[in-house]
Amino acid sequence: MLTDQGTQATLECVIDANPLTADMVTWSRPGYEMTRTTTEFSDQKSVLQVANVTKEDSGLFTCTVNNGIGDAAEATAQLIVKCEFTVVEIRIESHFVTKQYYDMCSQLLGNRIV
């Protein structure tokens, strides 16, 4: 799912199982604070909602279903939050750079060449 910052993201997990109750479905993402999310369950569908998303919410969420019959089943959904482009760092790996190239990079980076 692709969404804008500040919106509510909604991920759906449609399930075909019998029996099936809400407590048989879990959403997860390693290292993510799931308390920021809410879930709803109805008509064999679990919905995960993340309110006021930021770029840090981008990532892979997993819906796991286990009704005790057979193995648990999983499906994943990718959340991508659009954000402004930011240059974190530019490195010049070569030891030899033309003065023109150095001056151009220096001007673009405000004399912060690493």
DSSP assignment of the chain equals: -EEETTS-EEEEEE---SS--GGGEEEE-TT--GGGEEEEEETTEEEEEESS--GGG-EEEEEEE--SSSS-EEEEEEEEEE------------S---HHHHHHHHHHTTS---
For residue 100, the model assigns a pLDDT of 72
Tell me the domain boundaries of the chain.
2-82, 87-114
Q: What is the mean pLDDT of each run of 10 residues along the chain (114 residues)?
A: 95 96 97 95 97 96 97 97 78 64 70 54
For residue 42, the model assigns a pLDDT of 96
Give, in words, the CATH class of 2-82: mainly beta
Nearest-10 Cα torsion for 21, 16, 26, 43: -50
Location of structure tokens 């490195």: 91
